[in-house]
Every structure is written in structure tokens, then in C-alpha cells.
Amino acid sequence: MRLNPAKPFLRYPSPSHPANRTRELASEGHYVFAEPLQVHFNPIMVSLTNKRILLGVTGSIAAYKSAETVRRLREAGAEVRVVMTRAATEFITALTMQAVSGHPVRQHLLDEQAESGMGHIELARWADAVLVAPASANFMAKVAQGRADDLLSTLCLASGAPLAVAPAMNRQMWDNPLTQSNVATLQKNGVRIFGPDSGTQACGETGAGRMIEPNDLVTMTAAMFETGELVGLNVLVTAGPTWEPIDPVRMITNRSSGKMGYAVATAAMEAGARVTLVSGPTALASPERVECIRVTTAREMFDAVQARVATAHVFVGAAAVADYRPAQTAVDKIKKTADTLDLVLIRNPDILASVSAHTPAPFVVGFAAETGDLERNAVAKLRAKRVDLIAANLVGQPGSGFEADDNHLILVDAAGTVELPLLSKAKAARELIHHIAVRYHAKNPAENPRLAHRQ
């Protein structure tokens, strides 16, 4: 696919920004991006927080920039693992890449030590995105053919994560019709092509083929997560537990860490929404580019949601709200004098039900944390609370649910049940947001911003 220079690109602040030069390259007929990126993206606030980036390094003179790329990716918040081809190690040492990434570098497909820990399939699953930079002509040819004869090419084939390559080569190699044909094949198969840039090359020639700079690689990698599926919409998310005070030092709460709700808020922000997160007490930092309102009790959370529900297009109730609170909060610390202590509890307001009862109601998504009969309980909650979608998960199991980093969700709505595999909470949140976007736009076709973009 040739790039249509008239279509919108990433918006960069200055016309001299290197990425804007890609427009010129495009108008000269070079392949620039896999697709024009139709997102409003602010490069000043590039964030890869909680993103797992697998950086592949291949045998190009530009490999010397890979250490810088790792540093920039990490500065943007990413966790980076590096895989090098044999040729790459002739240009930059694995030791350097290990030092800058903070993790051992993987080089061999058949690595007994690594296979007992994180094997190549696990590494492929681990990645949120795979970036090969620099990508040699040879490597792109291999991926275009679906070959898997070393660790990196095998990972590219085995990973379901989005793949981007940043070509780096002599201009003749880049202009060669075989390379261009391979690039076209990669693009046709959804591989993003970052660059190349044009200018003076290591070989002394001038032309297209220079790898784009690490800062721009980071910006473009971050843009891979910007789906644009919820552009123009307001998304209200609740997360974390609530604390219901018994006395000044004790409370009733639950084991919610807030990780799932925060991941949902981040994924909605990446999908282009304006996101407000109403959070109970957690140890988590507020997600970037999200308005975060901190509350403590269920009633405070209820009030914060009520104040914002009228402008929300989508509501996601991921908070584990305490159903009950002590009828009275003691002014002073209760002393350990009696053998037994009666605590009278009263019902807290039902935030989810109140949002779905609002007129007009947003698209309402509830979470159900269950310890058994997951689907039956989810269907019951879907009906009882009259919500559009329930994301249900089993809690009390090792490795999934409360406090864990992974989650195993089932999504239940009137159309049926979709089971997601065990995923990191960040990935599960992105899947959930995609599911919500599809359902939301099916329900509100006139408001589909992606369709509006395409007109």
C-alpha cells in the first residue's frame, strides 16, 4: 500500500520534525508507515507505562543506536526485553544491551537455560508489542516469507502482539524492488514500517534507508497502542476498594488492588477517550492523561460518580465497592475490653445500579468477582443490574484476580459469552475496551468516531 500523503498522520509540533519528513518521502513514492496513523497523538506526553516491548536487533550498522532506543523506551515507562540476531552481535554486544535493558539478552532459539524459564513462546506471549530496530533487509525478507530459522524471526511469527520494523540499510538496498516488494508484503500483513529516514548514510551515500532516531521510534511505538476506537467519548471508570471506617484506625475493606480498573482507564485513554477515574485507596500512581479522583468510602465514590454520570458515554465499574458499612463510626479507637463485639452493618448505595438507572444511561459495564459459578452469576448480575456488559472473573485463585498481575475474564452480555485467555491485566483491559467499543458503536452507530474519521 502506498501512503496517501493527503491522509492525516501523527501530529508533530514542527514541520521540520523528522516524522514530517516522512510525508516528503511518501510523496516521492517510498513506503513510510504501514497505514496512515489516524490518531490525535501528543508526542510531548509519550507514555509506554506498563507496556512490555520486545526489541529485536538485527545486523545493521544502525545497531549502535539500539542501546539508546532501549533507554528511551524505558524512560517512557516500558519494560524492555532484547533479542539479537547473530549478525547483530557483530555490531553491538549483548552485554551492552543487557546492561541498558536490565535483563539478559536472548540470542538463541535453542537455549536450554532459557527454555526452562521463559521459552520463546512465553517471550512471544509476554510482549505487548514487538519492535525490530534496526531491521536489516535480510530480516524483513525472512519475515515477509514467514520464515522462522532463528529466535527473532520465530518470535515474530509466534507472537500475536503488533509488530513494527524500522528498516536500516544502504539506499540501493532499500530501493531494490525485492526489498520494496518485501515491505509491501509486510504491510499487507499488518506489519508497521517505521521509516526509514533519508539523509547521509554510513556508507557515504545519500538517500532513503537511514533508521529513524530512537526518540521517534518511541513515539511511533506508543502510537501503536492508540487505537482511536473511543475518540470523542467520555469514559468514567471506578477502581480499587473502598474503606468503610469502624473507628479512626480500623475499617472494612476488601483485597482489590485497583490494578484492573487502572488498566481499563489507561486502555480507554489509549483508545482516544477522555477518561475520569474514580479510585478508592490504592498504592498505584494515577495513570497519565487520565483525570483521577481519589475517594475513600463507598458513599464518596457514589457521590463522585453521580456528579459525572450525566456526561459519561461509557461507565466501567471496576471498583470492588464494599456492600456494607458500619452503621456507626466510633469517634475514638474501640478498646479491647469485651470478649465479643457486635458490629451493625448497613447497605451502601449501589453505584452500578444507580448508573444504569440514570436517564439517559451511559453504556454500562460492571465487573463481577466471583468465587464459583462464574457465568451463571455474571448472567444474574447482568439482569439484576440492567447493565450492558459484565466482565467476570474468578477470585481466590492463584495467579488471577485480586492483587495478581494477570486476569482471566469472561465477558457476558445479551449476545452471549466471550472468554478471554489468561492475560496480563493491561492486555485484558485492552481486549475489554475493544469489546466495549464494538458493542458501544453497534448501539450508537451515529457516534462512531472511526467511521466519522474515514469520511
Ligand X SMILES: Cc1cc2nc3c(=O)[nH]c(=O)nc-3n(C[C@H](O)[C@H](O)[C@H](O)COP(=O)(O)O)c2cc1C
The C-alpha cell 475517594 sits at 295
The C-alpha cell 481466590 sits at 396
Instruction: Give, in order, the Cα–Cα distances in Å from 256 to each of 209, 243, 269, 279, 443.
Output: 50, 11, 22, 11, 31
Residue 234 Cβ vs ligand X, minimum distance, rounded to whole Å = 46
Q: What is the number of H-type helices and E-type strands within the chain? A: 16, 21
Identity of the residue, 73 or 211, whose beta carbon is nearer to ligand X in the bound complex: 211
Site for ligand X in 242-271 (CB under 6 A): none
Residues 12, 31, 41, 139: which binds ligand X (CB under 6 A)?
139
Residue 431 Cβ vs ligand X, minimum distance, rounded to whole Å = 33
Q: Which residues are catalytic?
A: 203
Site for ligand X in 50-79 (CB under 6 A): 58-62
Q: What percent of the residues of the chain are helix, what percent strand, and what percent coil, each to the nearest 5? A: 35, 20, 40
How far apart are the C-alpha atoms of 122 and 116, rounded to whole Å?
Answer: 11
Site for ligand X in 77-136 (CB under 6 A): 85, 87-88, 136
Dihedral of the CA atoms 278, 279, 280, 286 (nearest 10)?
-150
Residue 392 is a binding residue for ligand X (CB under 6 A): no
- Contact string (CB under 6 A) for ligand X, positions 170-199, x = contact: ---x--------------------------
Identity of the residue, 58 or 254, whose beta carbon is nearer to ligand X in the bound complex: 58
Identity of the residue, 63 or 318, whose beta carbon is nearer to ligand X in the bound complex: 63
The alpha carbon of 332 is separated from its chain's Cα centroid by a whole number of angstroms, namely: 45
- The grid coordinates of residue 383 equal 439482569
Cβ 233 vs Cβ 313: under 8 Å: yes
Residue 304 is a binding residue for ligand X (CB under 6 A): no
Residue 287 Cβ vs ligand X, minimum distance, rounded to whole Å = 37
Residue 211 Cβ vs ligand X, minimum distance, rounded to whole Å = 8
301, 346, 325: which is closest to 246 by C-alpha?
A: 325
Residue 209 Cβ vs ligand X, minimum distance, rounded to whole Å = 8
Per the document, the length of the chain is: 455
How far apart are the C-alpha atoms of 313 and 236, rounded to whole Å?
Answer: 8
Residues 107, 138, 257, 276: which binds ligand X (CB under 6 A)?
138
Residue 168 is a binding residue for ligand X (CB under 6 A): yes
Binding site for ligand X (CB under 6 A): 58-62, 85, 87-88, 136-139, 168-169, 173
